[in-house]
């Protein structure tokens, strides 16, 4: 009746208990006052208290209106007890017991200066009533007999003592649980720091060590193996940084979603292509990677956050690749209702003991200690997945057993009417852009050469600008670009003035921002100024080519 612990905060459960206590003690008073034939005014006051406390309980427990209920109830009880003091023998009556119970609750609800103000108001009220009783004794209704006094005191005292005992026990259990949670969290964080130190040093050791060997002898026979190990180590570091940033943003309340309309099948096909490359890099040729899309009724265009969905799938597929030595990794979706989609990632790997099915979604939790092989990781990936799915108004769960493989299932809402897949959407993309021209505004040689080498096979014409002033000069002189890639940290680019200039002079040309992880407000300003997409550093070749191809094709159709 107070609410489940995992749904209601402790303060809210105390408030529910406070209101419920008021309901029960008022009901008890009505019954005893009637049975023992106490003055009818006491029965009436108890009935009024029952009605109001029942109303406050409904507001708190059912409607979950906490703050307004607390303040309104506090005012009502202050007024009610003043009348109760006057009509029920004043300082000789049991009203003082209710004041002490109230002070116990008020100490839990009100914090800081507000707590002191409320306690002071109640104390002054008690003092004022006592002084009024001394000065005007006839103003207070006395007891008719000693038997009535004893009965009335027991009617209020026994429930008050029981309630205080209940609250104190409830508080003890709560703080004991909080202490255990704090101790567990401290142990997990210590374990995480030790683990993350290992996770950072291991790939850094590979990157630095193999780079030094290649620098000493660039023509050695095993350079391809060294380069592969360096790339794998760099990917591990990037994944580690992404997981830490994601969990930090979500826990600080900055984890936001960005809803847009996109093609679901195209997103899944992109993921498939990406993980085929990952599979080749990791020498996982004993695994069959399979994408399952219902051919009779594909979903097509939906509205959600494509980057977040891709992030969840990437974490789950990466885990599946890590814990599967041979067999099958299958992923895709099944439409289960008209307004929700059922996604899944299934593998034939080592599996997870059912006793860990809940814990694996906790931060820093890892369950592979029982296996002879050591599987690297931070223990953050599944926690990130769970929180992202919940941000998207979904739910994630797992089916697995030791040695029986693992299946992660998550469902998400469909937010818009869907469009059918067309043949054009399904055609394979060819990155041949002969006759197209791209302006790359990038001042760092390393970034520029990497991007230009990625685009080398497309036959596109590339013009480079080293700073903001040069961009303005090129834009003034030429207007036949098909796309502009712009580094946000370009020298001479103050805030978004360069974007404003480009958009004013070339309103129809797509602008792609080339940057590291940018702040939300900065990216919003860029979007408002017409930025079509974002290339984040470090770049992934296939993702960059697909992104640019999408905008170049749109540009071609719009001409």
d(CA 466, CA 448): 10
pLDDT of residue 271: 85
Q: Is the pLDDT of residue 245 over 80?
A: no
Inter-residue contact 366 to 316 (CB < 8 Å): no
Q: Measured between alpha carbons, how far is residue 276 from residues 288, 289, 320, 339, 344 in Å?
A: 10, 7, 13, 31, 18
CATH number, span 430-558: 3.40.50.2300
Kindly report the average pLDDT of the chain as a whole number. 78
Helix (H) or strand (E) holding 310: helix 306-322
Query: What is the residue whose two structure tokens read 């990497």?
Result: 450
Backbone torsions φ then ψ of 251, nearest 5 degrees: -70, -25
Rounded to a whole number, what is the distance in angstroms from the first to the last CA of the chain? 66
> For domain 197-251, which CATH number applies: 1.10.3720.10, 2.40.50.110, 3.20.20.140, 1.10.287.130?
1.10.287.130
Instruction: Mark out the alpha helices in 88-145 (DSSP H runs).
Output: 95-109, 112-135
CB-based burial, 345-374: b 16+ in 10 Å, e otherwise: bbbbbbbbeeebbeebbbbbbbbbeeeeee
Enter the DSSP assignment of 396. E
Report which of 377, 276, 257 is spatially closest to residue 322, judged by C-alpha positions: 377
- What percentage of the chain exceeds 70 in pLDDT? 80
pLDDT band at residue 374 using 50, 70 and 90 as cut-offs: very low
Residues near 282 by Cβ (< 8 Å), separated by ≥ 6? 232, 321
Inter-residue contact 106 to 74 (CB < 8 Å): yes
- Among 88-102, 190-204, 399-413, 422-436, name the one with the lowest average pLDDT: 422-436
Q: What is the mean pLDDT of residues 436-462?
A: 87
Q: What is the mean pLDDT of residues 11-17?
A: 73
Report which of 213, 242, 241 is spatially closest to residue 227, judged by C-alpha positions: 213
pLDDT of residue 421: 41
* Three-class SS of 171-188: HHHHHHHHHHHHHHHHHH
pLDDT of residue 329: 92
pLDDT in tens, 471-489: 888 888 887 888 999 887 7
Q: With left for phi above 0 and alpha for psi between -120 and 50, is residue 44 left, alpha or beta?
A: alpha
Residues recorded for the chain: 559
pLDDT band at residue 420 using 50, 70 and 90 as cut-offs: very low
CA dihedral 328, 331, 332, 335 (to 10 degrees): 90
User: In 336-388, where do the E strands start and end?
Assistant: 340-347
Determine if the peptide bond prior to 538 is cis (ω within 30°).
yes
Report which of 340, 302, 555, 311 is spatially closest to residue 437, judged by C-alpha positions: 555
Backbone torsions φ then ψ of 310, nearest 5 degrees: -65, -35
Q: What is the mean pLDDT of residues 3-30?
A: 71
Residues near 139 by Cβ (< 8 Å), separated by ≥ 6? 86, 132, 133
State the pairing for strand pair 340-347/406-413. antiparallel
pLDDT in tens, 294-306: 877 677 788 888 8
d(CA 556, CA 551): 9
pLDDT of residue 519: 54
Is pTM beyond 0.85 here?
no
pLDDT in tens, 181-205: 777 767 666 666 666 665 677 677 7
Joined together, the tokens standing for residue 8 give: 């209601």
d(CA 206, CA 211): 8
pLDDT in tens, 228-244: 777 777 777 776 777 67
d(CA 453, CA 171): 64
CATH number, span 260-424: 3.30.565.10
Q: Is the pLDDT of residue 152 over 80?
A: no
Joined together, the tokens standing for residue 329 give: 């990794």
d(CA 64, CA 223): 64
d(CA 55, CA 46): 14
Please state the domain extents for the chain.
Answer: 10-182, 197-251, 260-424, 430-558
Instruction: Mark out the alpha helices in 136-145 (DSSP H runs).
Output: none
């Amino acid at each position: 009746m107070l609410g489940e612990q995992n749904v209601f905060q402790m303060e809210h459960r105390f408030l529910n208990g406070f209101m419920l206590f008021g309901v029960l003690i008022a009901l008890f008073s009505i019954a005893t006052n009637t049975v023992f034939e106490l003055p009818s005014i006491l029965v009436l006051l108890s009935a009024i208290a029952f009605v109001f406390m029942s109303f406050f309980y409904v507001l708190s427990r059912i409607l979950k209106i906490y703050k307004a209920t607390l303040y309104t109830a506090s005012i009502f009880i202050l007024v009610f007890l003043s009348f109760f003091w006057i009509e029920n023998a004043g300082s000789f009556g049991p009203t003082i017991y209710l004041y002490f119970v109230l002070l116990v609750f008020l100490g839990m609800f009100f914090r800081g200066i507000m707590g002191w103000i409320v306690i002071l108001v109640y104390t002054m009220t008690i003092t004022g009533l006592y002084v009024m009783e001394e000065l005007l004794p006839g103003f207070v209704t006395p007891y008719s007999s000693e038997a009535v006094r004893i009965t009335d005191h027991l009617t209020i005292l026994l429930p008050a003592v029981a309630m205080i005992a209940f609250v104190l026990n409830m508080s003890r259990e709560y703080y004991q649980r909080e202490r255990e949670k704090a101790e567990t969290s401290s142990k997990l964080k210590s374990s995480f720091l030790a683990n993350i130190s290992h996770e950072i040093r291991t790939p850094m050791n590979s990157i630095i060590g193999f780079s030094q060997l290649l620098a000493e002898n660039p023509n050695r026979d095993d350079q391809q193996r060294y380069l592969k190990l360096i790339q794998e180590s760099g990917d591990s570091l990037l994944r580690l940084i992404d997981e830490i940033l994601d969990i930090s943003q979500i826990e600080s309340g900055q984890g936001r979603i960005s809803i847009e309309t996109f093609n679901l099948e195209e997103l899944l096909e992109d993921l498939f292509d990406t993980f085929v490359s990952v599979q080749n890099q990791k020498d996982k040729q004993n695994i069959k990677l399979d994408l399952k899309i219902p051919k009779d009724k594909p979903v097509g265009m939906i509205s959600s956050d494509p980057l977040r969905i891709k992030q969840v799938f990437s974490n789950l597929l990466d885990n599946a690749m890590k814990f599967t030595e041979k067999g099958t990794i299958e992923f895709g979706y099944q439409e289960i209702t008209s307004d929700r989609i059922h996604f899944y990632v299934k593998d034939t790997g080592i599996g997870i003991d059912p006793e860990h099915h809940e814990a694996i979604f906790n931060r820093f939790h890892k369950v592979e200690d029982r296996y002879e092989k050591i599987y690297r990781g931070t223990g953050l990936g599944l926690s990130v997945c769970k929180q992202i799915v919940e941000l998207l108004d979904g739910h994630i769960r797992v089916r697995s057993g030791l040695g029986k493989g693992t299946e992660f299932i998550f469902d998400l809402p469909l937010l818009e009417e869907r469009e059918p897949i067309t043949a054009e959407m399904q055609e394979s993309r060819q990155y041949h852009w002969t006759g197209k021209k791209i302006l790359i505004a990038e001042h760092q040689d390393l970034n520029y050469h990497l991007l230009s080498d990625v685009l080398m096979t497309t036959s596109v014409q590339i013009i480079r600008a080293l700073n903001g002033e040069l961009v303005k000069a090129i834009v003034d002189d030429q207007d036949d670009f098909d796309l502009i890639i712009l580094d946000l940290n370009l020298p001479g680019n103050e805030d978004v003035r360069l974007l404003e200039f480009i958009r004013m002079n070339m309103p129809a040309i797509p602008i792609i921002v080339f940057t590291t992880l940018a702040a939300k407000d900065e990216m919003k300003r860029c979007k408002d100024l017409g930025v079509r997409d974002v290339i984040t550093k470090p770049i992934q070749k296939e993702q960059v080519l697909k992104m640019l191809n999408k905008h170049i094709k749109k540009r071609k159709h719009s001409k």
